[in-house]
Structure 1
Amino acid sequence: MHLITILSYFFAMATASSPHQATPLVKEGATLQKLAGDFAFTEGPTSDAEGNVYFTDQPNDRIMKWSVDGKLSTYMQPSGRSNGMFFDRKDRLWSCADAKNELWIIDKNKKKETVVVKEYEGKRLNGPNDVWVMPDGSAYFTDPFYKRDWWDHTEQPIEIQGVYFLSKDHKTLTRVIADFNKPNGIVGTPDGKKLYVTDIGDGKIYHYKINPDHSLSDKTLLCEERSDGMTIDERGNVYITNGNGVTAYSPQGEKLVNIPTGQGWTANVCFGGKDHSTLFITASTGFYSIDMNVRGVKP
């Protein structure tokens, strides 16, 4: 197991200098561990109820599983070119499968998929990228356009690169954000009241109030940074990913800690492990973890 020492210790950034943070986010003495490597490009980490972490190796069209006892296995291949993923309260695995620009729910036991969304107003989706599932089983997902080598089309199917809401019965799809350059990462608070969305094309991250009818309002800038994937901890801190590794922001937009990965691009992040207090990171060709003083949350 390869260890990467965190550069010039960043714990000072995560101390109680903020009234919103009682203790450092990263466990004292923790180092970033490279758990596995030699992938084509890692993405989409998410944990199930037990703390097993699933992530994608999209160019190789597979979903990998890192078990709570530290074993790596191939969970599903082919996987519809799965990208962003999320486990809901029923422990169902949702996947942004952009082989055919679809949103899936994958049966954990049979490893078979159900296509829940594939078009909007009669047009093929641009390419679902990331998904977050509400406590009631409804979902929000981003639909940017990144031309893929495995597609037989080159034109953007839908002019707007939007964010969508899918009703809990999976019958109604509504566009809820239409003014982003290129939406990407998405995550919400466990009470279902706030939604964070990255506009990677404009280098900004916003949060919204989720209204009772699932529309969004009160658009507020969290920070001016690009981000690919995101996750949230039990304190409400938001972890973003980009070329600088993983950076945590308080809900008020205060930068708390940076965890460099030493990779050119860090794509996504989630909490997992037996007590959900380990941060798992997908960065370029590698899969990493670091022990934290906080736990992740689920809706």
Structure 2
Amino acid sequence: MTQQANARDLSRRRLIAAAGAGAVALPGLALAQASPPTPPGPPSTITNPPRDFSRHGAPTTYFNDPDVISVDPSFNAIAQPNAAIMRLWTGALWSEGPAWSAEGRYLVWSDIPNNRQLRWLEDDGHVSVFRMPSNNSNGNSFDFQGRQLSCEHLTRRVVRYELDGSITVLADSYNGKRLNSPNDVVAHPDGSYWFTDPPYGSSLYEGAPDAAGGPVNPQGHLKSTLGQAQGMGMLKRELPTSCYRIDPSGKIDLVVTEEQVPDPNGLCFSPDYKKLYVVSTGKGPGDKGPGGKGDVFVFDIGADNKPANGKRFADFMVDGVKCGPDGIRCDVDGNVWCSSNAGRAVGYNGVTVWTPEGKLIGRIRLPEVCGNICFGGPKRNRLFMAASQSLYAVFVNTQGAGPG
């Protein structure tokens, strides 16, 4: 027997022996049977390194955006597959109050500390300064006639920009006392406007503190007129934090008291206007009581336009994390979409989505605290999110209820 034949015979015997022992120690065969390595998932807000939301970032959408999360399967019906969260612009100090002009096909929002309103054009994505100074405006909206509504911190009033460019002051006082710092405003089909009046604008960063002796500036150490136009910074807090209704006649009624909802912030109606949602945020400057606790309340609205049967809608605890609400809107099916401020809890800032019964069904994660939201776009199927220094948007498979 030749040496080559002996080698072949020896190899066959080793193979038979190995088979009898229940193992085949062939490197090539073992490699073929090994499971292929799991490909890495797309980057998200919580991956390391985190997702790059700029236009230079890597693709992140593989049919479903990794930061659009279905907490309940029912959310899949209103989340839009193959639609990525996009950062449209960045460069603000604190973004708030996005509102969609259906006629103009643009989005307007507030950069409160910079005392300006910005505008994003739908046709080419261009962003420009829309109004400056804006009197440190916060919440914006549009009424059923397409007129812009704005809540101004500095002047402590709610205004309407008429179609001819003039300005109408809708509210600046109640029972002879100046408002605190109107925060958010929504229109009702009956021609009325509803707005909240917490104290958050009476600060150096977002408006002007009280004049000396006011609750925000009791010792007068702060010079409230510094950096302001002539006559600004002379007001003091005089009212509790409340929610008001401006009748078409101009009459202003108190509709939700501080005892019912302390420090009211965002507000919106259900699609049928039979329910009013009011956000209660944290304790504001000058508050002597405990202030809001970061939850949302819901009221029934009767034929007399008076909220009744108020109750807590949700406490906004998600996985043991307090996802503090701020801005709020409903879609056409009555689901409640609310911005989330979870502070340093990475992965919980953004948007939470709830059924009309108060069940959490979905979340949208952003890398920044989200202050306010609105639905817009020509089909009103795009969710715009004003988050800290930036503006984000994502398409959804539903439409926003109501204008603005």
Is TM (by shorter chain) over 0.5? yes
Which residue number corresponds to residue 95 of structure 2? Answer: 42
- For 2:210, give the aligned amino acid: H
The residue type paired with residue 151 of structure 1 is A
Q: 1:229 aligns to what SS in structure 2?
A: strand
Deviations 1:239-281 (A, max 9, x none): 1112221011110111111101111x21000011111101000
1:219 partnered with 2:324: no
Equivalent residues of 1:11, 1:24 under 8 A apart: no
Distance 1:257 1:64, change over 3 A: same
Q: Which residue of 1 aligns with 2:228?
A: none
**Counterpart position of 1:233:** 331
Q: Structure 1: how far apart are the matches of 2:397 and 2:70? A: 14
Matched, 1:75 2:130: yes
Contact kept? 2:102, 2:378, Cα under 8 Å:
no
| Residue in structure 2 matching 1:137, options 191, 208, 228 | 191
What residue number does 2:367 align with?
262
Per mean C-alpha deviation after superposition, the further-off stretch among 152-161 and 186-195 is: 152-161
C-alpha distance in 1 between matches for 2:194 and 2:133: 25
Is 1:161–1:183's contact at 8 Å kept on the other side of the alignment?
yes
Specify the alignment match of 1:204 in structure 2.
295
Structure showing the higher helix proportion among its residues: 2
The alpha-carbon deviation at position 73 of structure 1 amounts to: 2.2
- Identify if the C-alpha distance between structure 1 residues 9 and 118 changes in structure 2 by more than 3 Å, giving closer, same or farther: closer
Q: Which amino acid aligns with 1:245?
A: G
Change (3 A) 1:258 1:52: same
176, 179, 203: which one aligns with 2:256: 176
Give the 3 Å change call, closer, same or farther, for CA 66–9 of structure 1 in structure 2.
closer
Q: Which of 253, 264, 268 is the matching residue for 1:187?
A: 268
CA distance in structure 2 between the aligned counterparts of 1:170 and 1:191, rounded to whole angstroms: 24
Deviations 1:155-196 (A, max 9, x none): 242342111111112233334333122111101123321100
1:235 partner letter: D
The structure number with the bigger radius of gyration is 2
Using the size of structure 2 for normalisation, the TM-score is 0.68
Task: Tell me if structure 2 keeps the 8 A contact 1:206–1:219.
Answer: yes
Compute the displacement of 1:68 (Å).
2.1
CA distance in 1 between partners of 2:255 and 2:298 (Å) = 16
CA distance in 1, matches of 2:121, 2:72: 29
Aligned partners of 1:9 and 1:85: how far apart in 2? 27
Question: Who is 1:128 aligned against?
Answer: 182
**Aligned 8 A contact 1:165 1:176 in 2:** no
Gaps of 5+ in 1: none
Amino acid at match of 1:32: I
Change (3 A) 1:10 1:71: closer
Please give the per-residue CA displacement for 1:79-122, whole angstroms capped at 9, x wherever unaligned: 12110011110111111011110010012552x32111111111
8 Å CA contact 2:67, 2:366 repeated in 1: no
* Higher mean C-alpha deviation, range 159-168 or range 285-294: 159-168
Distance change in 2, residues 1:191/1:151 (3 Å): same
Pick aligned residue for 2:162 from 93, 107, 111: 107
2:117–2:130: 8 Å Cα contact kept in structure 1? yes
Q: Which amino acid aligns with 1:133?
A: A
- In structure 2, stretches of 5+ residues that fail to align are 1-53, 216-236, 282-291, 317-323, 342-348
How far apart in 2 are the matches of 1:181 and 1:188?
Answer: 19
Say which is worse superposed, 173-182 or 197-206, in terms of deviation: 173-182
Q: 1:67/1:188 Cα in 2 relative to 1: closer, same or farther (>3 Å)?
A: same
Distance 1:92 1:292 in 2: 26
What's the secondary structure of 1:99's corresponding residue? coil
* 1:33 aligns with one of 71, 74, 86: 86
Could you list the runs of 4 or more consecutive aligned residues of structure 1 that deviate by over 3 angstroms after TM superposition?
3-12
CA distance in 2, matches of 1:53, 1:108: 17
Give SS of 1:47's match.
Answer: strand
Q: Does 1 or 2 have the higher relative contact order (CA < 8 Å, sep 6+)?
A: 1
Indicate the larger mover: 272-281 or 6-15: 6-15
- Cα distance in 1, alignment partners of residues 119 and 299 from structure 2: 32
1:151 aligns with 2:208: yes
Q: How has the CA–CA distance of structure 1 residues 9 and 83 changed in structure 2, closer, same or farther, with 3 Å as cutoff?
A: closer
Q: Displacement of 1:10 after TM fit? A: 4.2
